[in-house]
Structure formats: C-alpha cells, structure tokens
Amino acid sequence: MRMLTIRYITGRKSCWLLAVGCWLLAACSSDSTGESGGKTGSTLRIATYTTAYEETDLQMRAVEYVPSSDLRIGLFVIPDENPPAEAFTTANPFIFTNGYWDSHVTMEASKGYTIYGYMSKSAPTSATIAKDGAVATMTVTGISAVTADDVAFVTGVKDGAKNDPGDLYQGRFNYTGKADNNYVCLLMDHLFASVKFTFTVDDTYAALRTIKLKKLELSTTNASVNATITLTPNTTDSDPVTSVTYSAVQGTAATAAFFNSTEGLPLNKRSEGATAIPDFCCFAPILNNELTLKTTYDVYDRYDNLIRENSVATNKLPYIQTQRGQSVTLNLTVNPTYLYQLSEPDLDNPTIKIGD
C-alpha cells in the first residue's frame, strides 16, 4: 500500500496535522548511479512516512494521506564509514513518480547509513547537521514564523521495501543499503504548534445580520525563526528528542493566509452552536504571545442583501498556552454593540401615528 500517515498529538488540546511538500537535503560518500567498487546499489526512495506508533499519554492516533507531487522532504544521509567531521548540507531534489519520491543519492549494498531530516512545504533558508558520537544536532534556519503548512522532523527510519511502516520505531535512524529496492519509511514529529478557530454570532445581532467569513490570516511580529533539534538514537522505541530550541527570530513581520472562501462561510448564531473553521495555522511556539488574527468578511441584512463587502477586523490574540506538536482551538464571538450600517429593508416601513 502507498500511504502517508501523520500522528496527531492531542492531550488536553485539539489535534492538528501537517501539510507537506517534496525537498531533499542529502549527503553521502558516493554519488555513483550504479556499481561502485564492485558493490551494487540503487538510488534512495521514500516509500512512506508515518507518525503512527504505540500510544502514549499524549494520546497519539494515525490518519492516512495519499502522497502528492508538492510534498517536500529534506534528508541527510550519512555513511557510517568515514562520515564528515563537520556540519554539512548538500541539496538533492526528489522527483515524484508513481507514488514515490526518487532521489539522486545512491545507497551501496551492505553499507550502513544514518538518516535524519525534516519536511516543510516552503523550503527554509538553509539546514545543517552535525554529529557528536551518536548524538545528532540539526539546525534549520529561516523557517517562516507562521505558516498554513507544517514543519516536521524525522524521529525514526526503517527499510521500506514492502511499503509497510510496520515496525517503524522512534529513535532508530540506521539504514543498510541494498543492491536494489532502497525504499525508506520515515517517522516524523511536529516542530511547530498550531491554532484553530470557531466563530459564533450573538443571537440578538444574528436576528438582524448574517456574517459570511471570507478569509483568515495569522500574522506575527517576526518573519522567521531558526530551530535546533538534538536527537539521541535508541533501540527501545523511546522519544529520541533531547531538545528543541528556537533562536534568532528575524525580520519584522510574517503573515499566513490559512482560510479562503469565495462565497463566504456563514457563521452560526450562538444558540445554533459554533461554526468550526476547517483549516488551521502553525506558528513557532516562542511567538505564542505575538499573534494577530485578521478576519475578512461580508455582512448581509436579514433579507440577504449584501450591505458590507470585504470588511476587515484585526484582533491581537491572547497568550496561547501550548508547545510544539500541540494545537489550541480559540472560540471567537461576533457581538457588535451597534449596527454599523442600516439597509433600506431595516426600516420595515414603520407607521406614524398622529395625535393620541
């Protein structure tokens, strides 16, 4: 089967996912395309990626996704023999073909490798990785501080010749090259946090007006962030993440549009229950007190006449108590204190009584 599976992390917060694209960072000691020194090999392919494994107190669950040509995955492929002594990065693009991502990295038969990496729909400015013994430290720079897509990193790999994630465990980064069918399955974890929204309209106001949501944009005071991820391999299916830190926040602002509707999404009044926005936006957790929501909407009177088009409201969001891999849902209420604009039908032809 050819599938993508993404872990959702919930706990006491709502679940979220990543939308991803196809980009490879790789490095290895050989760039041959067929035979090398009498050893046969073949190019590395990504068969699947998944974050499905044994549930923990974070209540993880799996959801399948069909791979697509806009997927970006960045990998560092490090040979066990004579690995580079310093941090490195070498770009090698994948080619999406028949449900697989083909690379230009040749894996030699019977040769050992360790594989690390990340994924992001928008490629960051740069990425490097360095190893100190078994411990690997990956630094990704220039990541957009807010994004409608997600950023994740590899926490486990396995031979994927059968296209089955099967016994894909966290903490295992080793891979042995084969003469052919070099397919790898990847286990991923989230780098950012995310936020979702629900909207309700005050019942009194809803009796006179209908609000149709057109667009949602999340912005922050900084344009990009850098992330440093330290990973310690293990063979016990334990979380290999030693630390994730964010630093050197750069730029003055970043904005991500994460919901768009040409017709406009009608918002429920409070007595009908909240209208859930189907999309989400991700952000660097260190900016959880620096987020602003920009809402574009149309206003209709009670006779369905459009009286205000593409109105804009900007709201600074409260501090969001969350961390990477978690999501918060914010509940927003539309409750104006007065009608901004009357329509002619609002008058309802009132009668005038003279005298008593």
User: Which domains, and CATH codes, for the chain?
Assistant: 4-190 (no CATH), 193-222+254-334 (2.60.40)
| Alpha carbons 347 and 339: distance in angstroms, whole number | 13
Q: Pairing state of beta strands 146-147 and 100-108?
A: unpaired
Is residue 138 within 8 A of residue 129, CB to CB? The reply is yes
The single residue listed with the structure tokens 């900007």 is 314
Round to the nearest angstrom and report the end-to-end CA distance of the chain.
83
d(CA 303, CA 287): 43
State pLDDT tens for residues 143-201: 899 998 878 889 999 887 555 656 778 899 999 999 988 888 888 888 998 899 999 99
Kindly state the tokens that stand for 11. 């706990």
Other Cβ atoms closer than 10 A to 70: 12
Weakest-pLDDT range from 69-78, 124-133, 192-201, 264-273: 69-78
Residues 107/248, Cβ–Cβ less than 8 Å: no
| Cα–Cα distance, 281 to 254 (Å, whole number) | 12
Concatenating the DSSP letter of every residue in 307-321 gives EEEEEEEEEEPPP--
Average pLDDT over residues 10-16: 31
Are 144 and 281 in contact by the 8 Å Cβ rule? The answer is: no
Mean of pLDDT over the chain: 75
Query: pLDDT tens for residues 206-245?
Result: 888 899 999 999 999 889 999 999 999 999 989 999 999 9
Q: What is the Cα gyration radius of the chain?
A: 25
Give dist(CA 151, CA 74) in Å, integer.
Answer: 11
pTM of the model: 0.78
For residue 270, count other CB atoms closer than 10 A to its CB: 16
Give helix then strand counts, H and E, for the chain.
1, 26
